[in-house]
Amino acid sequence: MRWSRASAGGVLLATFTAMCLAAPELPRAMFHKNKYAMGTEFEIVVYDESAAHAEQAMEEALEEIVRLDAVMSDYKTDSELSRLNRKAHFHAQIVSADLYCVIEESLQYSKISGGKFDVTVGPLAHRWKAVLNGAPAPTVEEEEKLRACVGYEKVVMTPPNRIEFHSPCLEIDLGAIGKGYAVDRAVEILRTRGIKSGLIDAGGSTFYGMGAPPEKAGWLVHLRDPSGKLDPEVLLRDNSASTSEQTPKSLLGNASAGHIINPENGMPLRTRYSLSVIAKTGTASDGLSTTLLLLGPEKGRELVEGVSDAAAIWVSSDGQMEIATSGPRILLGGESRNDTPVKDSEQKTRTAER
């Protein structure tokens, strides 16, 4: 039998394709890198075939986080946000795309939470942080004066890049959302560099799982459990988890201080819960975690169920727990190691005391 050139070519192509498909994947090793930014330690773990490639990709992602710290920090006086906080009172300022974007998204959470989440709480937050460090609590007059500075509706956004404060003393504090935004930008960079499997951790409070580790369904993250009884877990796969909790009480009884401020009364939030959220992006999980801690489980459930692909768990130190979800599964008590995980429908209504 004589083969035509075309048929021979076809066979060769088919053989080559088959060989390619059958070629074993190069073994991937795990690599890790960390860097200090935004007052905490960011860590990245990736699986990759090449140490040099992994190192380069992680370095670029971490450099991006450091760059964003210089944009969003309210501690660094020369950051873009600090400049905005000094100059935007009744004067529109041109800002970078990053700053515009993260503030715009913050205001969305303010709107959907009816103002419970509010990045303009800066003046109050600073004052109460000072109390945490030993300063006296503010007087009623001082507190009223500071509360007058606060209000997300006083931030005027003019696309594509102008921001103005309609208040003489408003200050934006991105502490409740900035790390999540930075995580998302880092994920983008890792993806651009061809990383398919990785985990980004922003100081333990926000994780993003890219793809999954080899031979695993996702990145297993144990969620905060102040009771030590429930062991809630989540498998992250191209989504994010964040945790919020009020600052622990001073052992000396200085119970009035705390870093999460309730904009409604201008006081540090009092709650018995720790809150973890799962969402599609780091920005969303970070922003939602503070929002839902402030809202509490009753009102928070409604919000979670209205957001696509989100879940939340409130856990108190005595083992009280509430779960709400619009998609992702939160596993309990080592269920990730069991064959029969809890169904979503069960989780939606589950309230447990252990």
Partner 1 sequence: MFIGEKVVPVFLLCALIAPGGMGKVLARWTEKAMPPAKSLGVSEIAIPWNASASALMYTARDKGYRVYLEATSQQAKDAAESAAKAVFAGLIIEPAVGNEREAQELLQKLRASYPKLDLRILLAQGKQPQVKGNLVYQRNGVLQVSSPTAQPWVDSNLAAVRLAQAVYPDAIPLYSFAWNATDPLQKQLGPRVADYALAVAEAGAFHSDLILELPENLQKSLANGEPGAWATWKQVRQVVDFYGAGNRAASKPEWSVGVWTDSEEKSYEVINLMARHNIPFGVLNKERLNTDTVKELDVLVAISAPEKEQIGILIEFAMAGGTVVLVNAQGTFPWQSDTPLRRSEFAVTYGVGKGRVIEFSGAVTDPETFAQDIRRLMTKERVPVSLWNSLTMLVVPYRDLRTGQVVLEFVNYEEETQEVQVQVKGSFASIRYGTPERSCCEAISPRYVDGFTEFVVPHLVTGGRVSLRPSAPEKKIGAPAAKSHRDQRFRYLSYRATPGRQL
Contact 289, 244 (CB under 8 A): yes
Residue 236 or 295 with smaller CB distance to partner 1: 236
Contact window for partner 1 (CB under 8 A) among 87-95, 138-146, 151-159, 248-256:
248-256
Asked, as a colleague might, if the bond just before 297 is cis with ω within 30 of 0, I would say no
How many Cβ atoms are within 10 Å of 344's Cβ, its own excluded? 14
Work out which of 253, 337, 345, 349 binds partner 1, going by CB under 8 A: 253
Max alpha carbon distance in the chain (Å)?
A: 100
Question: ∠ at Cα 206 (103, 309), nearest 5°?
Answer: 80
Binding residues among 319-338 for partner 1 as defined by CB under 8 A: none
Smallest distance from partner 1 to CB 74, Å: 10
Question: What is the contact mask toward partner 1 in residues 262 to 281, using x (rule: CB under 8 A)?
Answer: ------------x-x-----
Binding residues among 38-67 for partner 1 as defined by CB under 8 A: 38-41, 43, 45, 51, 54-55, 66
The answer to the question of residue 245 lying near partner 1 (CB under 8 A) is: yes
Per-position DSSP letters for 307-335, written without gaps between them = STT-EEEEEETTSEEEEEESSPPPB-TTG
Work out which of 192, 254, 308, 351 binds partner 1, going by CB under 8 A: 254
Work out which of 241, 304, 310, 311 binds partner 1, going by CB under 8 A: 241
Binding residues among 114-153 for partner 1 as defined by CB under 8 A: 126-127, 129-130, 132-135
Burial class (CB in 10 A: 0-12, 13-18, 19+), 123: buried
Asked, as a colleague might, if the bond just before 160 is cis with ω within 30 of 0, I would say yes
Tokens of 132: 């945490």
Q: What is the DSSP letter of 240?
A: E
The CA R_g of the chain, rounded to the nearest whole Å, is: 24
Provide the binding-site residues for partner 1, judged by CB under 8 A.
29-36, 38-41, 43, 45, 51, 54-55, 66, 75, 77-78, 82, 126-127, 129-130, 132-135, 175-176, 178-179, 199, 201-205, 207, 213, 216, 219-224, 241-245, 247-255, 259, 274, 276
